[in-house]
Amino acid sequence: MTASPTAAAEAWLAEFDRALQARDLDGALALFGEECYWRDFVSFTWNLKTLEGRDEIRSMLAGRLEDVKPSGWHLTEDASGDGDAVQAWAGFETGAARGWAHLRLRDGKCWTLLTTMQELKGFEEKKGPNREQGVAHEITRGRRSWLELKQEAEARLGYEEQPYCVIIGGGQGGIGLAARLRRLGVPTIVVEKNARPGDSWRNRYKSLHLHDPVWYDHLPYLKFPDDWPVFAAKDKIGDWLEQYTRIMELNYWSGTECTKASFDEAAGEWVVDVVRNGEPVTLRPRQLVFALGVSGYPNIPAFDGAASFLGQQHHSSRHPGGGDWTGKKAVVIGSNNSAHDICADLWEHGAEVTMVQRSSTHIARSESLMDLALGDLYSERALASGVTTEKADMLFASLPYRILPEAQIPVYRKMAEQDAEFYAQLKAAGFELDFGADGSGLFLKYLRRGSGYYIDVGASQLIIDGRVKLARGEVEKITGSAVVLEDGTELEADLIVYATGYGSMNSWLADLVSPEVADRVGKCWGYGSDTPKDPGPWEGELRNMWKPTNVENLWIHGGNLHQSRHYSLYLALQLKARMEGLDTPVYGLQPSHHPR
């Protein structure tokens, strides 16, 4: 008789617990299938690391078991599955922390295991029954109010007292991480050059809305209200981020620009020069985090003749949106998210618009993406079935990148079938489509390249209908009044928008620290593949994101709202552990490669 999923998972965890506590590597490895993956977020490796196969798992356990001291593996709820396929949620402890795990069994053996650190023992967040009192119920003369104490602390930090951590970049990534660090008692300053929190959203083109649905986009601790729109407008998001910094009581230095950073080896701290509202200030944190999104500087191709253009030209990051473009001709170079949005915005405001598509693009209809790709994790139906945001984040992370494509390919194959007429119409309009090099669709393109796709929220229909014209090919040159393609096609223009993406985020390091430090860190984002378009050594995790880099005390944080929320937990715990002087030996530090 086949054991129930719960019984099978309990038996596996009990034997795994026994083997690890006994330091029985052979016994532990016998519990893993021939094909197996262990993805660890900080709990065993003080790193974000994927181990592939028994040999890699053996090496990690041999090097880490004595320090980690794992124990207490147990189910946190009944397991699920049918036949020989079982999924289970588990809790466990290490010497330093408490963890949460997700397990998949095939024929009684582990296929995938995700282990995550959730809190450090002795350094837990003061929440729930452990929350602070907030007031001393004792009347004394000269008592200071909460506001007075807050203002005094803010006035000291960065001047009389130095922060332990400085975060450069005050968008959603920077403030989400700062919120976690504050709850852990890590003195932190967020440096943001814009005048107000949320300006990185407010300053974008007028029509910008989130392309991801609301259930996917919550910030740490503070979820959007349940009447929040599925796709929020940029200014609404900007206002939310501004209020978040206040509610979470962050030390947020707006109107502040970092001009230089260097590491003082003798003192073991960073020297970070900033200009705050016109005043030079030098900060000396132990840890420095760059939280500047997923990209570097705007990528503006150097087309011949661009300086001779008589109209307006700017990168998509500078496009304000709105205005009256009646009777004007606009050429948008690019075919990704921002290109589509800007084409739609210009068409709405009267322009005659042409999109220049230089390479194939993946298009996913928003409705189909929400239903087929995200619906089981981030939706009302997911919530109704008990999949919380925290569980959804774990499930999303539970499939290692090596096998994620095979899980995604059926989703996008179904999308292609379901939306066949839509795709046929786009092809008939001359649009060059793809579903990724291996058919795995949008999310894998995002992980590998950070570009190459559009989530359709209406602009595709403009192309299908011919309301936005389409030209394909590379740009040869720009004249005083036109964009000229390699085949000789001339596109008359009063406005040129370069929706040509961004360089590597590594470029921020080169300019603010040094080219040598940027090269030591190596490429950020992407995880390597065997395809010519994305060469490089295989990395089981995104390069340099949310984990130790090859430069001590230097970290990279970013990603979309979902990634910023989820991975900020693990980065915050790594920083807290270092502040408290815990031993944090990093297993499997990645080599530097593909600098800038």
pLDDT of amino acid 348: 94
d(CA 262, CA 501): 29
Residue 30 is inside which H or E element, if any?
Answer: none
Instruction: Give 10-residue mean pLDDT values along the chain (596 residues).
Output: 87 98 97 98 97 97 97 97 89 98 96 98 93 81 88 94 97 96 98 95 87 94 96 95 97 97 97 97 98 80 95 93 93 95 95 97 96 95 96 97 94 97 98 94 90 93 98 96 97 96 84 94 76 62 94 94 96 98 92 52
Tokens (6 digits) for 293 = 């999104």
pTM of the predicted model, to two decimals? 0.94
Map residue 306 onto helix, strand or coil. helix
Question: Do 157-296+505-580 and 306-498 show the same overall fold?
Answer: yes
- Residue range 157-296+505-580 forms a domain whose CATH class is alpha beta
Place of tokens 């707006």: 254
- Distance from CA of residue 246 to its chain's centroid? 23
Concatenate the DSSP letters of all residues of 449-465 into one string: TS-SEEEESSHHHHHHH
Q: Are residues 54 and 41 in contact, defined by beta-carbon separation less than 8 angstroms?
A: no
Q: What is the C-alpha separation between 308 and 219, in angstroms, rounded?
A: 45
Give all strands (DSSP E) within 265-346, no chain letters.
Answer: 269-276, 279-283, 287-290, 312-315, 329-333
Place of tokens 């800007």: 342
Contact partners, residue 78, CB within 8 Å, separation at least 6: 5, 6
Quick count: other Cβ atoms within 10 Å of Cβ 255? 16
CA distance 176 to 167: 11
What CATH topology corresponds to 306-498? FAD/NAD(P)-binding domain (3.50.50)
- What's the pLDDT score for residue 530? 41
The pLDDT value recorded for residue 2 is: 73
Burial category of 580 from C-beta neighbours within 10 Å (exposed 0-12, middle 13-18, buried 19 and up): middle
Cα distances from 153 to residues 163, 278, 340, in angstroms, run 11, 22, 46
Q: For the chain, how many residues are written?
A: 596
**Which CATH topology does 5-120 take?**
Nuclear Transport Factor 2; Chain: A, (3.10.450)
At 62, is the secondary structure helix, strand, or coil? helix
pLDDT at 593: 52
What is the separation, in whole angstroms, between the first and last Cα of the chain?
Answer: 58
Query: Per residue, what are the HEC states of 394-405?
Result: HHHHCCCCCCHH
Phi, psi (degrees; rounded to nearest 5) at 281: -135, 140
> Any idea where the domains of the chain sit in the sequence?
5-120, 157-296+505-580, 306-498
- The closest alpha carbon to 567, from 518, 539, 525, belongs to 525
The string of DSSP codes covering 176-231 is HHHHHHHHTT--EEEE-SSSSTTHHHHTS-TT-B-SS-GGG-PPSS-PPPTTS-SS
Give the pLDDT score at 569: 98
Give the span between the Cα atoms of 38 and 529, in whole angstroms. Answer: 19
Residues 152 and 160: their CA atoms lie apart, in Å, by 11
Give the tokens for residue 153.
Answer: 């602390």
The neighbour count for residue 325, using CB atoms within 10 Å, is 19
Share of the chain above pLDDT 70, in %: 97
